[in-house]
Amino acid sequence: MKTNIITLITLIIIIAGCGGGGGEVSTSPEKSVTLTPSTEDETKETTTTNELNSTPEFNFISNTKLDIKLPASPSTNITYFINICTAFSTENNEVEINYDSCKLRTSLTTEEQAFILSISAAELMLVAQIWPIEDGAQPITLYWNINEYGNSWKITI
Amino acid sequence: MLYSKNIKRYFFACLISFHGIINADPFESCPSNAFLMQESVAQLYGVNLVTGDYSLLSSDLGTTDKINAIGFNFHDNYIYGWGYQWGTLVRIGDDYQATSLPLENNPGVNFYVGDIAISENTYYFYRKGVDHGLYKVSLDEQSNDHLKVIKVINGQDLSINIYDFAFHPEDKFAYTVDRNGQLYQINVTTGGIVGLGNIGETGTFGAVYFDVDGNFYISRNSDGHVFIIDIAQLNPTATFFAYGPSASQNDGARCAVAPVIDESIAATTDYGDAPDSYGTTLFNNGARHGVSDIYLGSTITTEHNANVYPKTDQDDGITFLTPLLSGSDSLIEVAATGAGYLNIWGDWNRDGIFTPDEKLLSDKYMDNTTEVLLVNTPISALNGFTWTRARFTSITSIVASGGVADGEVEDYRVLVTNAGNSQIQDTPYYVAFEDSWPVKGDYDMNDVVILQNSSLLLTDSFEVKQIEFQGELKALGAAYRNGFAIQLDNVLPSNVNSDLVRFQINGVLQQISAIEADTQYLVIKITDDLESHIQLSAACDYYKTETNCSNSSQMTFSVTVPFIIPISLDVFPEAPYNPFIFAKEATYHGDNFNQPGRALEIHLKNRMPTSKADPNMFGIADDNTQISSNYNYQTVNGLPWALAINPGSQEEWRHPSETVDILQAYPKFKSFVESNGNKETNWFSRINSDLSKLY
């Protein structure tokens, strides 16, 4: 209730202020009713969590589900292992991965595999690195970003 | 601290100053390093007992013959010994030049066993045989017996095959080990001797030393191995301590009242950082290396003593490209600077120690290279996270603990799985609680903050065979005392393979079970009292919530829970699972209940209570829980008492400072809440915060 009263008062002040502004408002009448400024003011006015309201179902957790489909192994003689990780950097076309950040670590099998990963909404890019487990191994490195692929990633090699 | 690669050897250079050549001054201080006299024309070395690292102090001591039976005189800071060229006592000052001292009643033969007492300014020297014995000579210029030799006991009555002895810093006795490994205590006043048992090592121990704590060090001529002996034990035994210099002729001296670590100078030793059960600190004869041009990766850290997990070093030499696959090949990448041999141990049975046979790699020679290596993990290795230790040094066949003169040790916590298994690592959650339930709190959300990581091991049928939690207490702004636990909803505790559960706090294996008894669903109880695991800083009421109240103590935990029958991933609960705090037994937890104890639980919104929660507590004060609707732990406005915040792997979430409402710290929280999570899903990010309001 306290929030509603404050919001109402704010709207009245804003509208009154705009309405009394004279010619500038009349040339652009839509602006006089826009609620954008009032939204900012609402944020300022609600200063304590105690004033917030939530539906009983909402659990306050945010995350992103990512459907991942892994390719079949290209070889039946050599095991291929894949790491899918969130923390990495690239420099001079070389990727450096923090393997502690890997969300999925598994071997490729003779068939495609599907996984659903839950990641932070703050994570916008992933790296996949596929290693043949053999002497002198060289990895295959692939990337996912949410803007390009959305919430699914079909990895192909 | 990171250490320069072109490290200057401090050794005695930092401890010793030169004041002249003709009239040598004493050494400036009582040094932590030991002296070692070698060669048929005497040469003096400085030895860091911690690592065995040594350097030549002087190859010209002004003599053409040996000097033996040396001792460091605590009373005047000179070294004394027996000069073979002159057949008498010599004194060595900070110019490293031996000056002969004429003795009254000189026995007329040479000696190779000698030391200077701590309790008196007297040099004692010994030679076996009926014509010789134990002698003493006062070095006190004020004494009537100054430089007068007095025989304590005949060499037939005191007849032992020894090559050096050293005085204990406190008990006035000299100690020695003969070539058969027999440890002796010598009463130099009477010449009486007491056998203290066999220390389990044999050989010519030509240099022996004490440190200020009464640890006895013996150096074997043939291989340079330094052993440490706790003479206070009922049956003292020798424990390998460091790889020192070997020589056909050795004699040692040391200032017995000095600690072996000199913290007044820059650290020159690298340690590991695994839990101390693996041998990490010097106290536990941890793995350690003198810093040199040989190391793993591109950096090396130096410490006076080890940072034990959960504190960590900056290790960069080994990358585990795959988990270690038991019974199968795995890939690691090793970066080595300089030439040396790499050994890697793994704690395959996860008992907290590295045994000699728990090896992943042995004496792999590498020379300034970065290589991807195939390694094979034993099929007996248990699934889950365990510790590995990599040591890179110029010598071969080293063990997992003890000192080495060069190289580096790096400890890694790594995952072991079976080939064909998959690991899914859940995104990390910061679980933040208000502990005032059922009364609304101040919403600073820092009464308890836990960083909770979890990972699942899946079979090739996509069934969960094991779950592991790792966590860390990030804040404790609570006035009440709380425990912490995690429930896996709908998972039965009877399905846990209890024998293989591993529970550690701060890396120390716990003897109590993490599986709570008598619960309907599986509850992993980390602690009954979070506060008991940390030390509050002076003048601070809370842990890491108040401005200007930093705190170096840490509380981390890890629990591995394997299941007897793997559980389908489709029905397994999802992260963040069901973490909760509960009231510590027999403590005040608000006015609504009288010491409610375990029955008072506080969960994330809409998570189910455990079977140990008291249902009569619901609906009291501000709580509007409706169990039948699964609307749990929320107010009438739908507000929670706990949040699970998921910032991803690249950013740590910072909780609000004490009494700061989370909405003030993170203004976009309002939009997130009022949109039911559809807007401002990154409300918790650093860029969306008011940094001045965060701890």
**To the nearest whole number, what is the mean pLDDT of chain B?**
93
Residues A138 and A68 in one domain: yes
CA–CA separation, B60 vs B293, rounded Å? 28
| DSSP 8-state secondary structure symbol assigned to residue A19 | H
Instruction: Tell me what pLDDT residue B160 has.
Output: 95
Residues A45 and A82 in one domain: no
Q: A110 and A34 share a domain?
A: no
Tokens coding B115: 């030391």
pLDDT at A98 over 90: yes
How far lies B589's CA from each of A88, B43, B480, B516, B642, in Å? 45, 71, 6, 22, 17
Name, in order, each residue with C-beta under 8 angstroms of B101's C-beta and a sequence gap of 6 or more: B88, B89, B90, B91, B147
Tell me whether residue A46 is in a domain.
yes
Interchain contact, A60 vs B646, CB within 8 Å: no
Over the stretch B656-674, which tens digit does the pLDDT of each residue have? Answer: 999 999 999 999 999 999 9
pLDDT digits (tens, 9 = 90+) for B332-343: 999 999 999 999
Find the closest chain A residue to B316 by CA distance: A98
More confident: B408 or B537: B408
pLDDT of res. A44: 53
The identity of residue B68, as a single letter, is N
Query: What residue numbers bound the domain in which A34 lies?
Result: 2-51
Residues A70 and A35 in one domain: no
Contact A97, A149 (CB under 8 A): no
Q: How far is B631 from chain A (nearest CA, A)?
A: 6
Reported confidence tier of residue B353, pLDDT bands at 50, 70, 90: very high
Residue A63, pLDDT score: 87
Residues of A in contact with B685 (CB under 8 A): 122
For residues A46 and A73, state if they share a domain: no
Say which CATH topology domain B422-426+449-637 has: Immunoglobulin-like (2.60.40)
Q: How would residue B23 be classed by pLDDT, with cut points 50, 70 and 90? A: low
Give chain A's domain count: 2
Residue A11 pLDDT > 90: no
From B644, B646, B691, B645, select the one nearest B664 (Cα to Cα): B691
Q: Which of B460, B634, B685 has its CB closest to that of A56?
A: B634
Range with the poorest average pLDDT among A31-40, A58-67, A76-85, B145-154:
A31-40
In this complex, which of B423, B606, B647 lies closest to A59 when CB atoms are compared? B606
pLDDT digit string (tens) for B210-254? 999 999 999 999 999 999 999 999 999 999 999 988 877 788 999
Q: What is the mean pLDDT of residues A133-153?
A: 91
Tell me: do A70 and A147 sit in the same domain.
yes
**How is residue B644 written in tokens?**
């699970």
Instruction: Please tell me whether residues A35 and A89 are part of one structural domain.
Output: no
Q: Select the residue of A59, A101, A120 nearest B604 (Cβ to Cβ).
A: A59
Confidence of residue A157 (pLDDT cuts 50, 70, 90): confident
CATH class as words, domain B11-253: mainly beta
Instruction: Give the model confidence (pLDDT) of B264-285 as tens digits.
Output: 788 889 999 999 999 999 999 9
Share of chain B above pLDDT 70, in %: 97
Same domain (yes/no): A37, A12:
yes
Sign of CA dihedral B180, B181, B182, B186: positive
Q: Give the position of tokens 């400036």.
A: B28
Indicate the residue among A51, A72, A87 that finishes a domain.
Answer: A51
State which residue of chain A sits closest to B675, comparing Cα positions. A54
Q: Are residues A102 and A30 in the same domain?
A: no
pLDDT score at B186: 97
- CB half-sphere exposure, B305, CA atoms < 13 A: 13
Same fold, B269-416 and B422-426+449-637: yes
Say which CATH class B269-416 falls into: mainly beta
Would you call A38 helix, strand, or coil by DSSP? helix
Q: Is residue A59 part of a domain?
A: no
Is the confidence at residue B20, as pLDDT, over 70?
no
pLDDT given for residue A14 in this prediction:
37
HSE on the CB side for B488, CA within 13 Å? 25
Q: What percent of chain B has pLDDT over 90?
A: 85
In terms of domains, do A34 and A80 share one? Answer: no
**Alpha carbon of A131: minimum distance to chain B alpha carbons (Å):** 8
- The answer to whether B361 and B377 are in contact (CB under 8 A) is no
Q: Residue A124 domain-assigned?
A: yes
pLDDT at B640 (0 to 100): 98
Q: Is residue A91 included in any domain, yes or no?
A: yes
CA angle, residues A124, A128, A129, in degrees to nearest 5: 150
Residue B111 has pLDDT above 60, yes or no: yes
| A56 in a structural domain | no
Q: What is the mean pLDDT of residues A3-14?
A: 36
The full set of domain ranges for chain B reads 11-253, 269-416, 422-426+449-637
Alpha helix stretches (DSSP H) within A80-150:
146-149
Phi, psi angle pair for B493, to nearest 5°: -65, -25
Q: Look at residue A9 in the predicted model and tell me its pLDDT.
A: 37
Is a pLDDT exceeding 70 seen at residue B347? yes
Does residue A29 lie in a domain region?
A: yes
The phi-psi region of residue B687 (left if phi > 0; otherwise alpha if psi is between -120 and 50; otherwise beta) is alpha
Return the closest-CA partner of residue B287 out of B297, B276, B298: B276
**Structure token digits, residue B511:** 């003897």
pTM of the predicted structure, to 2 decimals? 0.79
Q: Which of B663, B666, B690 to mutate to test the interface with A (most CBs of A within 10 A)?
A: B663
In this structure, the answer to whether residues A76 and A150 fall within a common structural domain is yes
- Both tokens of residue B674? 């009022």
User: What span, in angstroms and rounded, lies between the C-alpha atoms of B391 and B434?
Assistant: 46
A83 close to B (CB below 8 A)? yes
pLDDT at B118: 95
Give domain status of residue A10, yes or no: yes
Residue-averaged pLDDT of chain A: 77
What percent of the residues of chain A are helix, what percent strand, and what percent coil, each to the nearest 5?
A: 30, 30, 35
C-alpha distances (whole Å) from B31 to each of B165, B169, B226, B254, B585 are 19, 14, 18, 8, 53
Sign for the pseudo-dihedral over CA of B277, B282, B286, B292:
positive
Sequence-separated (6 or more) residues with CB below 8 Å from residue B519: B487, B493, B610, B611, B612
Give the separation between CA B525 and CA B261, rounded to whole angstroms: 40
Report how far residue B371's alpha carbon sits from residue B373's, in angstroms, rounded to the nearest whole number.
Answer: 6
Torsion of CA B159, B162, B164, B165, to 10 degrees: -50
> What 8-state DSSP symbol labels residue B178?
-
Clarify whether residues A140 and A73 are in a common domain: yes
* A101 domain residue, yes or no: yes
B306 or B340, higher pLDDT? B340
DSSP for B175-222, please give it: EEE-TT-EEEEEETTTTEEEEEEE-S--S-EEEEEE-TT-EEEEEETT
Q: ipTM value of the model?
A: 0.79
B438 prior amide bond cis, ω within 30: yes
Q: Is A105 on the interface with B (CB under 8 A)?
A: yes
Identify the closest residue of chain A to B659 by CA–CA distance. Answer: A48
For the cut 90, the answer to whether the pLDDT of residue B686 exceeds it is yes
Structure tokens at B24: 């040598």
Contact present, B133 and B149 (Cβ < 8 Å): no
Nearest to B68 by CA among B153, B2, B167, B165: B165
Q: From the CB of residue B216, how many other CB atoms can be counted at a distance below 10 Å?
A: 24
The pLDDT value recorded for residue B612 is: 98
- Mean pLDDT over B25-48 rounds to 90
Mean pLDDT across the stretch B555-565?
96
Q: How far is the CA of B223 from the CAs of B203, B205, B206, in angstroms?
A: 10, 10, 11
